[in-house]
Amino acid sequence: MNDVLVQVAAFLNDEIITSQEAAGGCIAQSSIIRTISGKTYFLKQGFNNGMFKCEANGLLEIEKANCIRVPKVIMVEDEFLLLETVQEGRKSTRVMFDFGRDFAKMHMFKAEEYGFFENNFIGSNQQINTHKEKWDDFYFTNRLLYQYKLAEKNGYVTKELESKFLKLESQISNILEGSEEEPCLLHGDLWGGNYMVDENGKGVLIDPAVYYGHREADLAMTKLFGGFSSDFYQGYQDWYPFQEGYNYREGIYLLYHVLNHLNLFGSGYYSQTMSLLSQYV
């Protein structure tokens, strides 16, 4: 038994009898552990950079909104995160409609400033959450500019990309004009692999990159890889309608995640980055 399992067993005061690799989690090593008392837990390990404590803090923040389920945090240390297991249920029209509604309710949980009390992670890249009063300032500086500078460091910035990005800097306020809202609680990285449906037919959010921002940033991410039915968006709209002009702004929010994928996975995301920039400059 490795050191992590020894620590977990001591904390639980329960003997671990099996540890089986679990699907999901393209970054961390995930497993289901079973104890002699018959309980099961979900264990994530493989990093020692503060990522797991940030994930735990994000789950706890979403839990505060009291409107959508997240796995309960059992134990967290620098090198691992222990969560309750969630029994998977089946998606249906009603389930996805309700999930969209509950996600909208989470977006009504507000804060005074954009950002979060700590920086966290988007994938394995750092996500900067320094508080700012204005959304366009926060989004450009902490999201787009940070990823652009990382892309420069990684050697992905061409003259063409540089030219378009410099033009974007002067246009960002105009692009986002008219969509101002109070800072709301965001999952931060909601694609199809970062939610589940539980045994009671309720949506469950996992692997968050939490901060307080504009809800359109969360909604745009759901479009990047699919996985969300029209019923999800209808449920959301019925509770908290999209603002006018959202479809135009969607690409500017996708740009952050595509830049992040460029930095994480390489030049295969370059053409998509340029395509999104070309929508605005």
Q: Which residues are catalytic?
A: 189
- Structure-block tokens of residue 270: 């370059």
Chain centre to alpha carbon of residue 5: 27
| Cα end-to-end span (Å), the chain | 56
Amino acid present at 273: T
Count the neighbouring beta carbons within 10 Å of the beta carbon of residue 113: 14
Q: What one-character DSSP code corresponds to residue 71? A: P
CA angle 248, 250, 253 (to 5 degrees): 130
- Structure-block tokens of residue 81: 């995160």
- Structure-block tokens of residue 241: 């309608």
CB 101 within 8 A of CB 114: no
Amino acid present at 191: W
Alpha-carbon span 58 to 186, nearest angstrom: 9
